Copies of this chain bind each other. A is one copy, B any other.
Amino acid sequence: MSSQPLRLGLAGLGTVGIGVVKILEREAALVAARSGRPVVITAVSARDRAKNRDADLSAFAWETDPVALATRDDVDVFVEVMGGHEGPAKAATEAALAAGKHVVTANKALLAHHGQALAEAAEARGVALRFEAAVAGGIPVIKALTEGLAGNRIKRVMGVMNGTCNYILTRMQAAGLPYQTVFEEARQLGYLEADPNLDVGGIDAGHKLSLLSSIAFGTRVAFDAVELEGIGNVSIDDINLADDMGYHIKLLGVAQMTGRGLEQRMTPCLVPAESPLGQLQGGTNMVVLEGDSVGQIVLRGPGAGMGPTASAVMGDVIDIARGFVRPVFGIPATQLTPAVPARAATPAPYYLRMALLDKPGALAKIATCLGEAGISIDQMRQINREDQEDDDAIVLIVTHKASPADIEHALSQFSQTGVLVDRPVAIRIEEV
């Protein structure tokens, strides 16, 4: 074993940072054996020095400024678990790379917005920039995709990657509660980001998907090209009706390279209730990787939390301690090609729900719109709800496979019929 320790500068002493402190406190010998050298924290930084953090930090130098921390002579690896994609996290990461320090980060937003420049900076200095903790918590999916499956042309990446959204959706279903009630519960439980739209708007999950896409397809990170739709419009009615038909609603990410370009979407989808994705409960994440040689690999595990996220950070740190440096996104950043974004066009069945005026011929008009858009109907049901006071008819349709464009066209035609009570709901069904 080398006696030269690997020295970490840890910026951020929230859940993840303290998780890293605790692992190194509890398992120093195990980590050293696996790393081939001791791994030690030399200095830390956080906004509030006085805060009680349930960990002994007295052995570490304190830096008020994370940039100063990142460039200290006694720091080999800058561990960035502060969060935020501008401001101090960005400045300190840039400073660390410029000073030739390795960087390990849990910051998906930072990489989704500035991954290209940061990767180029890291590779120009020959240092590592690693971000396992940024995607799918404790699941070593960045490693699986970038290294384990490196012999594959990746066909498709899918995943449920925001535990808060999955908690809200599974809790709505289990308790029969509306979105807003469960959203408030999640806020009380501290499951939501300070800006909840990062979670429920699908932005956080979209960040993660954009990082996986870059590795999978050798393209520059293109977060702005992710088709994003959050879960705020998912109603308990749709959850219940989907369940009756054997489906669960998930915030599902899908990225695939097509002849037209790169499709990336993070949207609510129906998935078969009995499928691995359909059975995913609460904060658990799942990622599906499909390669030309390997076929389909499915990875499941905790998507957040102190232990899982710190585990991911430590995996990256130990790789660096072992001397492993590879391109940030799998191939040199200068060789990543600009992503040509393509609107999702892969056909799929769709779930449609609408309230129709109780008029003769109303349903026929809807069916005609579908037929004219070239969409055939797999199932149609009229729902009679006991609590219904008005005379509107709730109609559920499951289509055969149709392209998103044809579905959009049909929806726009629906509005011409004059029989709709309000906007119809259309949700894609992924037969995963």
How far apart are the CA atoms of A323 and B319 in the complex, in Å? 12
Instruction: Using known A-B contacts A295-B138, A324-B326, determine if residue A331 contacts B33 with beta carbons closer than 8 Å.
Output: yes
For A12, list chain B residues within 8 Å (CB): none
Q: Is A188 an interface residue (CB 8 A)?
A: no
Instruction: Using known A-B contacts A147-B143, A300-B276, determine if residue A332 contacts B294 with beta carbons closer than 8 Å.
Output: no
Q: Is A68 an interface residue (CB 8 A)?
A: no
8 A Cβ contacts from A98-156 to B: 132, 138-140, 143-144, 147-153
How far apart are the CA atoms of A50 and B140 in the complex, in Å? 43
How far apart are the CA atoms of A205 and B330 in the complex, in Å? 32
Instruction: Using known A-B contacts A33-B218, A331-B33, determine if residue A151 contacts B299 with beta carbons closer than 8 Å.
Output: no
**Oligomeric state, in copies:** 2
How far apart are the CA atoms of A429 and B420 in the complex, in Å? 54
Q: Mark A292-306, 1 if CB is under 8 A from B, else 0.
A: 111111111110010
For A326, list chain B residues within 8 Å (CB): 36, 322, 324
Q: Is the CB of B311 within 8 A of A291?
A: yes
How far apart are the CA atoms of A335 and B34 in the complex, in Å? 10
Name the residue in A30, A305, A319, A332 with the highest tally of chain B Cβ atoms < 10 Å from its Cβ: A30
For A139, list chain B residues within 8 Å (CB): 297
Tell me the nearest residue of chain B to A218, going by C-beta. B33
For A276, list chain B residues within 8 Å (CB): 276, 279, 300
For A299, list chain B residues within 8 Å (CB): 297-300
For A152, list chain B residues within 8 Å (CB): 311, 314
Category for how many chain A residues contact B: 35 or more
Q: Is A54 an interface residue (CB 8 A)?
A: no
Q: Is the CB of B143 within 8 A of A313?
A: no
Q: Is the CB of B151 within 8 A of A23?
A: yes
Tell me the nearest residue of chain B to A143, going by C-beta. B148
Distance to closest chain B CB from A41 (angstroms): 14
For A1, list chain B residues within 8 Å (CB): 332
For A323, list chain B residues within 8 Å (CB): 324-325
Q: Is the CB of A308 within 8 A of B293?
A: yes
Distance to closest chain B CB from A321 (angstroms): 9
Q: Is A209 an interface residue (CB 8 A)?
A: no
Q: Is A48 an interface residue (CB 8 A)?
A: no
Q: Is A31 an interface residue (CB 8 A)?
A: yes
Contact of A150 among B34, B295, B331 (CB under 8 A): B34
Instruction: Using known A-B contacts A143-B147, A144-B144, A308-B294, determine if residue A153 contacts B300 with beta carbons closer than 8 Å.
Output: no
Distance to closest chain B CB from A143 (angstroms): 5
Q: Mark A188-206, 1 if CB is under 8 A from B, else 0.
A: 0000000000000000000
Contact of A151 among B143, B147, B291, B315 (CB under 8 A): B315
Instruction: Using known A-B contacts A140-B297, A276-B300, A307-B295, determine if residue A318 contacts B33 with beta carbons closer than 8 Å.
Output: no
Contact of A315 among B34, B148, B153 (CB under 8 A): B148
Name the residue in A153, A292, A295, A302 with the highest tally of chain B Cβ atoms < 10 Å from its Cβ: A295
Q: Is the CB of B327 within 8 A of A151?
A: no
Distance to closest chain B CB from A145 (angstroms): 9
Q: Is A310 an interface residue (CB 8 A)?
A: yes
Q: Mark A244-266, 1 if CB is under 8 A from B, else 0.
A: 00000000000000000000000
Q: Is A66 an interface residue (CB 8 A)?
A: no
How far apart are the CA atoms of A327 and B321 in the complex, in Å? 12
18 contacts between A and B (CB under 8 A): A23-B151, A30-B153, A31-B150, A132-B148, A138-B294, A138-B297, A140-B297, A148-B315, A151-B310, A151-B314, A151-B318, A293-B314, A294-B307, A294-B308, A295-B308, A297-B300, A298-B299, A324-B324
